[in-house]
Structure 1
Amino acid sequence: MTDKMRNLHGREVVIGIFDYKPFMLLDYEKQPFFYDRSENTTEVTIDGTDIRLMLIFCELYNCTIQVDTSETADWGDVFPNASGYGLVGMVLDRRNDYGIGGMYLWYEAYEFMDMTYFLGRSGVTCLVPAPNRLISWTLLLRPFQAVLWMSVMFCLLLESIALCMTRRWEHSSNYHFNSWIGSLRFGCISTLKLFVNQSTSYVTSSYALRTVLVASYMIDIILTTVYSGGLAAILTLPTLEEAADSRQRLFDHKLIWTGTSQAWITTIDERSADFCLA
């Protein structure tokens, strides 16, 4: 048994191949020629990285290579009843002894087959459109997050209430100044003016109202300074939309998957053992 493993005595080894550079190359003009079971002729030349490994194998163990190019469906696929078509189906039906040339980790195929040896690692590279630059009115809101915007609104509301209450009791003897509507209008307008760094024409002699105005103005200066710095950074550095660099993002972007072979499409699948996007 050991001698038969080391010397096959010229036994024919059938390889199912198709033209798939650089792993497998078919040529009907160059020499040397090999026997092709599909066309029943010897006028076919084979070459490629995987083919040369098989040629070296036959030199070492004294075997003869025969070619079968009858299947035109490339790698093919496997059906649930353990039958198939293409190169995979030829191996399952034992019409060929070896299946080589870019055999990737397809879950359906290896439920019924086994990988003899890995010759190298490969991955599927998806070419997707470059992310577009985000240009929208929402850029004005991006310097602050939602929680921070709520905090700013709450702070401005407290300023309005504080100015309204202080203005309400500034001149309690005057009916015009003593009205709640006038005090509320003064508090809201003064808060908005201070927030955008605008002065007010109202003259007050109350130290309490002056103190509240100064405190509100200092708080608003801090808020506007932080906001201006964040907005300047966003407008200076371009903001791009989310890149389609995963299966879910490919789906979210509604991109149609296409390729030169069905193998590239089936490899982008959640059941695949390996998934690579670059």
Structure 2
Amino acid sequence: MRLDEVTSALEASLSVTDLEPMAQGGQKHVLGCKLEGVPAVAKVVLLPTGPDCVYVLERAQREVEVLAAIDSPRVVRVLSEVVELDFSGGIQAAAWVEERLDGRDMRENLDQLWNYDRCARLIAHVGEALAAFHELEVVHRDLSPANVRELSDGSFVLMDPGLARHLAKTALTGVFQPGTAGHRSPEHIPGGDVQPVSDIFALGILAYRALTGVLPIDPSGPEDNYYRRLRDYDAPLIEASCADIPASLSATINRCLKRQPARRYLDGLELVEEIEKCGEIFGPHFMNV
């Protein structure tokens, strides 16, 4: 698949201009572009040959469908439908356009420990994003640093719901629940039932990692051992590593990381409501950045 082929296909199918490669990860290519003169990004996902083609195409369509249904400043906006592209050599792809965000992905901002204000913003803003998902009965399922972007104004935006599932349309119980190692919930173990409360656990992991530099549940070693730790071990209390952490922030993170789902915030809506009641570090200005 040559760049000139990609450019021509995107210009013809999505009416974008000024295309330039930005990033590549796995089978996904991201290109900067303009849509009606406005900066945007085009995402291109290569479709494998064989039966997996249908699954990958459905995943791309699911991602765009979910984003199109959400209107929140904390969730990346999609600007087009999914189109299918054909290239020489029998290569096929799915493509769509999203808004272009400034700043950097959270995974690029973990080289130093975060301060408490920054972590509080992360929880408040991603909590708002999850509330938008959960209100539609959609579970993100892959809340990892690669899928959270920190903008230049200090706010956070949730991206890439390619692994999301709609509770009312799809049964979530199964042998395999996708997600990123180290950022899975206890419900991600084989046979588990991933629910909105599982996204809450993953948000707790992000906050814990930002403040301590380590993951609360070690994912190293054989996968079976990791799943056993998720099922049987409690996450350490955040104050054990951050002795001077504000009480409201520690209480929020610790509750997100409860092993038993019923002891966590049940969804993003409940988390946001609790944050709005807190006066200490969760001030109202964090919700309005």
Q: Using structure 1 for the length normalisation, give the TM-score.
A: 0.21
Q: Using structure 2 for the length normalisation, give the TM-score.
A: 0.20
Larger proportion of strand: 2
